[in-house]
Structure 1
Amino acid sequence: MRTLRQMWADGDNAIGGWLSIPATLSAEVMARAGFDYVCVDTQHGTVEYQITVELIRAIEHGGSIPIVRVPWNEPGIIGKMLDAGAEGVIIPMVNTPEEAEAAVKACRYAPDGGSRSFGPTIGRIRRPDYVEWARDNIAVIPMIETKQAVDNLPEILSVPGIDAVYVGPADLSLTLDLPPANNDGSPAFDEAYTRIVDECQKVGVMPGCHATGPLVPKRFQQGFRMVTATADQLALGAGAAASLAAARADVTGDGESGGSLY
């Protein structure tokens, strides 16, 4: 299975899923759906470390690339997630080149200018050459999710070792005085997205983002190379609602709610 960095090197885009539910079954279901990557959200999801280790295994078993959004730009947390087998980390609230440099250092070992401590609990079980493998494959993905980060983007992208950046639309919107959502069509929001793609393309860094529904193909058309299309709880809710609507329609014959099915 290719890593994200290998996919991008081959010229391919990556479409992913998102996990907030601490259940290995849902993780494997998401992976087996065919997403290129599945991201475990340890920032806003209801996920602790031990289950994250198990979710990573389930994602791999299902055939997707396991990555993790860490709760903060902190080297101990980042290293621990990589030691658990994550093949990439999304790092929130990176607003300056100094913060971007700290994120990169936390993902790299000393020969590559990093500060990561060696102890890849899962990685070295599978890869005797883990240090070399990590150098070539671990994806470092800072989040660009504030106006400050957008303003500092050229300087952030100049930091060696950044493979991609990932837009957080809700937090970015809040700093633009907009509701916390994908505010497609808002001039300030659209301008920020356009600038992110343009600046990334100048330096060969992959732009990524959250999107749903018709925004997914639009984001790829805009130049994004990594798009998360849905999350486990959203897919579960949408699937359950669709099944219930179909069942009610079958029972009532007119598609209208007939109350309880029992």
Structure 2
Amino acid sequence: MANNVKHIWAAGKVALNGWLAIPSGFSAEVMAQCGFDSVTVDLQHGVQDYQSMVSCFQAMQAHPVTPMVRVPWNEPGIIGKVLDAGAYGVICPMVNSKEEAEAFVQSCKYPPRGTRSNGPIRAGLYGSSGNYQTTANDETLCIPMIETRTAVDNMEAILDVEGIAGIYVGPSDLGFSYGLVPKLDRDEPEILKIYDKLLKECDKRGIYPGIHCSGPAGAAKNIAMGFKLVTLLNDSGIMATGAKAWVGETRKNSGGKA
């Protein structure tokens, strides 16, 4: 199975990413039909575990979305397991140094590039029998997160690590580390300056920058800045936003009866 996100990037376009916090194959199935290019299962802050992630992957497989995962931490065991389950992109939180970025890539890639153990129990079902190992290093995306002061200080060294396909900004933690209120859509000059530098450094190296957004307005703003992977909140947030709006509209139009 080819990685559709890679084709979108190669065509000079932006990939729209869904985000699954709800541990439900049905929720994943619904999201996969909504027009996203990729859908990411969140094992860090979502209410997901390994089994629910597999169920989400199975539910999404009938639809043309690239399955990705945010792992809970930069640890080779879980990174290998999500890849073996069929993840085509791994987003790794709190990567703060060149050494941590290199360790992440090592965990994602088969020898000789990395140290990933062979055993693609479910990923091996993609494509023809025995072919997965020959394409996995090229098709799977390593995407470390930059979301701290330390990571910003080490930005160029992190981006220089061979095997990194993209970078993912965590705006909430990034702002938090600078003493700002944690939120997704940022407008502070000091944060926008970081974004500007990151986008330029990524462009120099052919690396694709991604970012988490609170919705369409924030996504459009970040696309205009130059981000190439934008996430529209998550399934639970989208559901809550829609439900609140509908409840509010119904009460407003009820003539005081509701």
Deviation sequence 1:143-192 (CA, Å, 0-9, x none): 00011111111111111000000000111011111011136221111111
Q: What amino acid is aligned across from residue 258 of structure 1 in structure 2?
A: K
Partner of 2:120: 120
Q: C-alpha distance in 2, partners of 1:59/1:230?
A: 18
Please state whether the residue corresponding to 1:141 is helix, strand or coil.
strand
Moved more, 66-75 or 23-32: 23-32
What runs of 5+ residues in structure 1 fail to find an aligned partner?
A: none
Deviation at 1:67, TM superposition (A): 0.2
Partner of 1:201: 203
Q: C-alpha distance in 2, partners of 1:165/1:56?
A: 23
Does 2:229 align with 1:230?
A: no
Partner of 2:34: 33
Partner of 1:258: 257
Q: What amino acid is aligned across from residue 25 of structure 1 in structure 2?
A: F
Deviation at 1:258, TM superposition (A): 3.2
Alignment of 1:58-73 (within 5 A): 58-73=59-74
Q: Structure 1 pair 114/147, CA: closer, same or farther in 2 (3 Å)?
A: same
TM-score with structure 1 setting the length: 0.92
Counterpart selection for 1:138 from 137, 140, 143 = 140
Deviation at 1:249, TM superposition (A): 4.1
Q: C-alpha distance in 2, partners of 1:89/1:126?
A: 17
Deviation at 1:226, TM superposition (A): 0.4
Alignment of 1:56-205 (within 5 A): 56-111=57-112, 113-127=113-127, 128-182=130-184, 184-205=186-207
Please state whether the residue corresponding to 1:247 is helix, strand or coil.
helix
Does 2:54 align with 1:53?
A: yes
Partner of 2:248: 245
Q: C-alpha distance in 2, partners of 1:87/1:232?
A: 20
TM-score with structure 2 setting the length: 0.94
What runs of 5+ residues in structure 2 fail to find an aligned partner?
A: none
Q: C-alpha distance in 1, partners of 2:64/2:58?
A: 10
Deviation at 1:230, TM superposition (A): 2.5
Q: What amino acid is aligned across from residue 202 of structure 2 in structure 1?
A: C
Check the 8 A contact 1:145/1:171 in 2, yes or no. yes
Please state whether the residue corresponding to 1:179 is helix, strand or coil.
coil
Q: C-alpha distance in 2, partners of 1:51/1:19?
A: 10
Partner of 1:218: 221
Please state whether the residue corresponding to 1:76 is helix, strand or coil.
helix
Q: C-alpha distance in 2, partners of 1:216/1:196?
A: 17
Check the 8 A contact 1:141/1:162 in 2, yes or no. yes
Q: Structure 1 pair 179/221, CA: closer, same or farther in 2 (3 Å)?
A: same
Check the 8 A contact 2:90/2:143 in 1, yes or no. yes
Check the 8 A contact 2:166/2:209 in 1, yes or no. yes
Check the 8 A contact 2:4/2:37 in 1, yes or no. no
Give me the identity figure in percent: 44
Larger Rg belongs to: 1
